[in-house]
A and B are shown apart, each in its own frame.
Chain A
Amino acid sequence: MHQVIELKGVAKRYDSAGAAPVLGPLTLRVAKGEALAVTGPSGSGKSTLLNLVAGLDKPTEGAVTVAGRRIDQLSEHALAKFRREHIGMAFQFFNLLDDLTVTDNIQLPAQLTGTSRRKAAARAGELMEMLGIQKHARAYPGRLSGGERQRVAVARALVNRPALLLADEPTGALDTVSGHDVRNLLMELHRAGQTIVLVTHDLSLAEACASRSIHLVDGHVALDSYAQAVR
């Protein structure tokens, strides 16, 4: 099976060389179309893992390969280029740009790749329709509900048709109803074949959306549902 993510002996230390790593050493593979949920208590290394996969951070040791490319050795410029072409990200607090309209927020990653405004607008329209937010196209994020904002964030993450969608606590800042909406959205995306890595505290969300889950404790995989299934 084609691997979208491949981590080999990856470890991350923030302190001096002798200190214990906050993550790993860790070896992990995520196949195309797989939805991996990463769970674990605070400080277990979930966000660090996500940052390493997104190329926002570099491992202290080991190799990170995403979409067939080893990203831990790329320059900042190459990483940015790689990210906008292959990775989409949705965050707990949405991280939408308040100054831009919904459409402009969604179009932004496409425009950064040099896609024409017409094409970017067409793709944004398509996603807004798919996610049911087209009526907010000209609105600013500050006027939307949490669920709607997260839909906008997901639309933005998908605008460049990334190989991988990373979602960091996507329902963490939402009320129950909105959280349910987002859960359904992720399930739909997974069904459509989108590879997803979902970091969450919410075990029910992990269970509903993910085809596989790993549980991190102190930077190590304490439980891997895939491994269990294989056994």
Chain B
Amino acid sequence: MILFGTAAMGRVVRSGLGRRRVQTAVIAVATMMAVASAVVAGSLMVAAAAPFDHAFGKQQGAHITAQFDPAKAGAAQLAETGKLAGVTASAGPYPSTAFRPVDQGGFQLPTLTLVGRSGPDGDVDRVDLKSGRWAQKPGEIVLDASFEGPAIGIGAGLKASHTANAPTLSVVGFAVSASKTADSWATPAQVDALASEDSPSTVQMLYRFDSASTKERILADRKKLAASVGSGALLGTQSWLDTKRAADQGAAATVPFVMAFGMLGILMSVIIVSSVISGAVGTSLRRIGILKAIGFTPREVVRAYMAQALIPAGAGIALGVVLGNLLAVPLLADTEAVYGTVSLSVAWWVDVTVPVAALVIVGLAALIPALRAGRLRTVEAIAVGRSPRTGRGQWAHRAMGMLPLPRPVTYGLATPFTHPVRTLAMLLAVAFGTVAATFAVGLTSSLTAVGTSQDPEGRAAVTVTTTKLNNVAPPPPPPAGGSAAKPSPAGGSVASPSELKVADPAKVRSAITSQAGTSSYYGKAQTEVAVAGASGSVQASLYDGDSRSGGYEMISGHWITGTGQVVVPTRFLERTSTKVGDKVRVTYEKETANLRIVGESFDTSGSQLEIHMDMANFASAEPSTFLVEVKTGLSADEYAQKVGAVIRPLGGDATTNAPSGQEGVILIMSAMAVLLTLMLVSVAGLGVLNSVVLDTRERIHDLGVCKAIGMSPRQTMSLVLSSVTAIGVMGGLIGVPAGYALHSLVMPVMGRAVGTTMPSPVLDVYEPVQLLLLGLGGVVIAVLGALIPAGWAAGARTATALRTE
């Protein structure tokens, strides 16, 4: 305590803290909550940027990865592109192709981009070899590190395709390219050898530019490249900004809402700290006068009152840093998964900056009332402490007294007008608590809507497949920047046809239609297609029948209603510079169709582009899955058993769909939202508690008088509780629209962070009844906060209260 001055002052500070235990606890909890939120928000902001930027910088990542047609641009011409204005470094040309290998277990991996490079180094994209070595001769391959696992390790063999005479490649290493220039690497000769008519060899060039920080700059750089080679020579490009966004999106989506909670927390702690210290000064005028009378200087008085704020705030800040670090762990772990071995932890400077900033803010909040204490004249302070109160709020008592309500209630309703500043602090605490609750309810509803909309297949009661469900491959490793694909019968890769019995889709369909319990169904196949204007392969879902029940939420346009239509995600529109209404050319195996984009789907599934079309566009396409709705009242299990009994002998299978589990990030975000809301609502309640404690202490003599003339404990309780009810109502009226507005503001920002806009079912989540209940939540916060002091006032001994000055 010597830190704050003399031992005498230490005693004064200690006794002040001891006398105001509730307020001391309120300051500690409020600052703890604010600091914890700020640490989480800060850590996520760092996590959202730092690992990618660090890895990209270290590897001299490619701002643009370009694919050229070797028939139209020769090696010398491509080498010249490295000397274009603005290009600071280039690498290549590297031969490149796509192939779909099959592992030793017979499972076919997704289509991989294979690039022929003699080594991991170069002027651009210095690939980080995580294990093993680089491919040195034909027959060797290095895979992206995300493939490393029990199924595929060093020395594992991969067949180049499912055809019988396909060559086998030996995995010799695992590597990471921050720029995601390839999924696998081999010697240039091996790439040329694997290229086929279906997957011809292209040439990859990697570039770094002096200016590539915006989408516009990248587009301008791309134009330069396209212009430097012949028409049609540039087949496609990949921007580092897209790769960065995909890599960052897990944490990036979380940042806006955690920041919103952090801001609310900081505002609340400022309000509460200044309210507590103002209250401490206001209720201690006589004490301050006595301190000065016995020789305390004004500066010592200021220090004494500052210390009474900074000591609990310091404890709260320390606890907040610890709590923030603990809360950040699951979110950072999620981000860490994206970068493999890159370890993420809360940045040290976040752990330093946040508490220092919080201490400064709390100090400033406490300084103004402390200075007021220091400036008070001794005689005045003693006199003010004893004299009757000023006439503030008398008009309110007169007005409220006319209401047709019990007198203790009308007396209580007028009480807040006696201390307008304290009432304002209480009102803000309740309003912020209501804002947090409203925002959190909207956020969790929106996140649930996002989760549901991302699993449209899960809406069907029963899934019927043309293959046995246990033949479905385990999920492939997570694609760059995205979460792992769900092991779905429709989405998984299946064992090669030579090893697998596949039921005839027509017979499966017949089995479904002949089942009495079938209400409706549609067929689906997931495959890869080529889309003119989009580089690399594109995931496609082909639908057979009326698929509206399994459709994605639409941001614009509508779901497919027939042939000639395609629904695409926002990223597809961005990458292909198309819009709803445009036509695209889609090639499925050997068939090509010109389809009109009729809708923009709400799809947050990472960097993969998944488009949706009617199966009838491609004559050779057949469904591999049927999603069935059963008639009302019928057990889905029973239905699945009956259909399964028919189609299992054919090679197919049937299962019920378990309720869709939410994705990890959504679960974590929902849990965080609930946790942060509980903390904020608790702090709001503590803010009310603090104000009512101050008020009750100040009015204890008046309450004693009331009790002496016959006010019962119950009436006393209703007096105190009604004094906060109006504040609760007002707080609700302010907080609900503000929380609603905050939700409307933050959700689109979160959407932009994952590269999509939000459809109305995700944004318009509030029901009128819900808003009404949230508004009443303000009253609940206020009443709960006032309950303890109300009980204390009701139970206080009348004789003691009457003796209180």
Chain A residues proximal to chain B, CB less than 8 Å: 51, 54, 56-57, 76-77, 80-81, 83-85, 88-89, 91, 95-101, 104, 108-109, 111-113, 140-142, 156-157, 160
Taking CB as reference atom, which chain A residue is nearest B714? A77
Give the dominant DSSP class at A's interface. helix
B708 and A89 contacting across the interface, CB-CB below 8 Å: yes
The reply to whether the CB of B418 lies closer than 8 angstroms to some CB of chain A is yes
Q: B391, B709, B795: which contacts A109 (Cβ < 8 A)?
A: B709
B710/A85 in contact, CB under 8 A:
yes
Which of B175-183, B512-520, B699-707 lies at the interface?
B699-707
The residue of chain B having its C-beta at the shortest distance from the C-beta of A95 within the complex is B705
Given contacts A51-B799, A99-B414, contact A104 B710 (CB under 8 A): no
- The interface residues of chain A lying within 8 Å CB-to-CB of B795 are 76
The verdict on B311 contacting chain A, using a C-beta distance below 8 Å, is no
- On whether the beta carbons of B397 and A100 are closer than 8 Å, the reply is yes
Chain A residues positioned under 8 Å from B799 (CB to CB): 51, 56-57
Select which of A54, A101, A111, A141 is within 8 A of B708 by beta carbon: A54
Please determine whether B702 and A97 come into contact, CB atoms closer than 8 angstroms.
Answer: yes
> Contact partner of A142 among B388, B398, B706, B711, CB < 8 A?
B388
Distance in angstroms between the alpha carbons of A141 and B705 in the assembled complex: 14
Query: Which residues of chain B are near A160, meaning CB under 8 Å?
Result: 710
Nearest CB in chain B: distance from A88 CB, A? 8
In contact, B709 and A108 (Cβ under 8 angstroms): yes
CA distance A171 to B394 in the complex (A): 27
Residues 684-714 of B contacting A (Cβ, < 8 Å)? 701-702, 705-714
SS class, residues of chain B in contact with chain A: helix
Q: How far is the CB of A23 from chain B (nearest CB, A)?
A: 13
**Which of the listed residues B389, B418, B798 has the most CB atoms from chain A within 10 Å of its own CB?**
B798
Known: A51-B799, A56-B799, A99-B414. A80 touches B397 (CB 8 A): no
Question: Which A residues touch B707, using CB under 8 A?
Answer: 80
Beta-carbon nearest neighbor of A47 in chain B: B799
Chain B residues in 8 Å Cβ range of A140: 391, 394
Most buried by A among B397, B414, B710, B798: B710
Residues of chain A with a CB closer than 8 A to B705's CB: 95-97
Q: Is the CB of B712 within 8 A of A76?
A: yes
- Specify the chain A residue showing the minimal Cβ separation from B398: A101
Contact, CB under 8 Å: B710 / A112: yes
Proximity bits, B384-402, A CB within 8 Å = 1, else 0: 0000110101100110010
Shortest CB distance A90–B (Å): 10
Q: Given A57-B799, A140-B394, A98 and B389 touching (CB < 8 A)?
A: yes
CB distance from A100 to the nearest CB of B (A): 6
| Bound-state Cα–Cα, A104 to B398, Å | 8
Interface residue? B408 (CB, 8 A): yes
Tell me whether B418 and A80 are in contact (CB under 8 A): no
Q: B14 on the interface (CB 8 Å rule)?
A: no
Q: Which residues of B contact A84 (CB under 8 A)?
A: 709-711
Interchain residue pairs A-B with the least CB separation, the first 4: A84-B710, A111-B407, A80-B712, A56-B799
Given A76-B712, A104-B401, do A99 and B418 touch, yes or no (CB 8 Å)? yes
The reply to whether B713 and A76 form a contact with Cβ atoms under 8 Å apart is yes
Q: B residues within 8 A CB of A57? A: 797, 799
A77 touches B712 (CB 8 A): yes
The residues of A that contact B315 with a CB separation of less than 8 Å are none
The answer to whether B708 and A83 have CB atoms under 8 Å apart is yes
Contacts beyond the supplied A56-B797, A97-B705, A112-B407: 8 A-B pairs with Cβ under 8 Å: A57-B799, A80-B711, A84-B710, A104-B397, A109-B709, A112-B715, A156-B709, A157-B709
Query: Is B802 in the interface zone, CB < 8 Å from A?
Result: yes
Q: Is the CB of A112 within 8 A of B711?
A: yes
Nearest Cβ distance between residue B409 and chain A, in whole angstroms?
11
Across the interface, name the chain B residue whose C-beta is closest to A55. Answer: B798
Contacts of A99 in B (CB 8 A): 389, 393-394, 397, 414, 418, 702
* Docked CA distance A157–B406 (Å): 20
For residue B316, give the distance in angstroms from its CB to the closest CB of chain A. 35
Q: Could you give 21 example pairs across A and B, Cβ below 8 Å?
A: A54-B708, A56-B797, A56-B799, A77-B712, A77-B714, A80-B707, A80-B711, A81-B710, A83-B710, A84-B710, A85-B710, A95-B701, A99-B394, A99-B414, A104-B398, A108-B709, A112-B715, A113-B710, A140-B391, A140-B394, A156-B709
Closest to A115 in B: B407
Q: How far is the CA of A156 from the CA of B709 in the complex (A)?
A: 9
- Residue contact B802 to A91, C-beta cutoff 8 Å: yes
Bound Cα distance A59, B388 (Å): 33
In contact, A108 and B407 (Cβ under 8 angstroms)? yes
Distance from B407 Cβ to chain A, minimum over Cβ atoms (Å):
4
State the CA gap A57–B702 with chains docked (Å). Answer: 18
Residues of A within 8 A of B710 (CB): 80-81, 83-85, 109, 112-113, 160
A59 to B154, alpha carbons, bound, how many Å? Answer: 90
Kindly provide the distance from the CB of A5 to the nearest chain B CB, expressed in whole angstroms. Answer: 17
- Docked complex Cα distance between A96 and B391 (Å): 14
How long is the Cα–Cα vector from A91 to B799 in the complex, in angstroms?
12
Tell me which residues across on chain A come within 8 A of B715, comparing CB atoms. 80, 112
- The minimal Cβ–Cβ distance linking B253 to chain A, given in whole angstroms, is 52
Q: B391, A80: Cβ atoms under 8 Å?
A: no
Give Cα A99–Cα B388 distance, bound, in whole angstroms. 10
Given A83-B710, A104-B397, verify A56-B802 contact (CB < 8 Å). yes
CA distance A194 to B311 in the complex (A): 58
A120 to chain B, nearest CB (A): 9
Closest to B397 in A: A99
Chain A residues whose C-beta falls within 8 Å of the C-beta of B706 in the assembled complex: 97, 108, 112
Please, how many angstroms separate the alpha-carbon atoms of A84 and B714 in the complex?
A: 14
- How far is A113 from B408 in the complex, measured between Cα atoms in Å? 11
Chain B 623-655 residues near chain A, CB threshold 8 A = none
Give Cα A169–Cα B594 distance, bound, in whole angstroms: 102
| CA–CA, A100 and B411, complex, Å | 9
- Residues from chain B with a CB closer than 8 A to the CB of A100 are 394, 397, 401
For B708, give the chain A residue with the smallest CB separation: A89
| C-alpha spacing A231/B709, complex, angstroms | 38
Given contacts A51-B799, A104-B401, is CB(A112)–CB(B393) below 8 Å? no
Kindly state the separation between the CA atoms of A80 and B397 in the bound complex, as whole angstroms: 23
* Distance (whole angstroms) from the CB of B483 to the closest CB of chain A: 61
A109 to B708 CA separation, bound complex (whole angstroms)? 10
Q: Which residues of B contact A113 (CB under 8 A)?
A: 710
Q: In whole angstroms, what is the CA distance A140 to B396 when docked? A: 13
Expressed in whole angstroms, the minimum distance between the Cβ of B385 and any Cβ of chain A is 15
- In angstroms, how far is the closest chain B Cβ from the Cβ of A198? 17
Say how far B399's CB is from chain A's closest CB, in angstroms.
Answer: 12
Within 8 A of A (CB), among B353-393: 388-389, 391, 393
In Å, the complex CA distance between A93 and B709 comes to 15
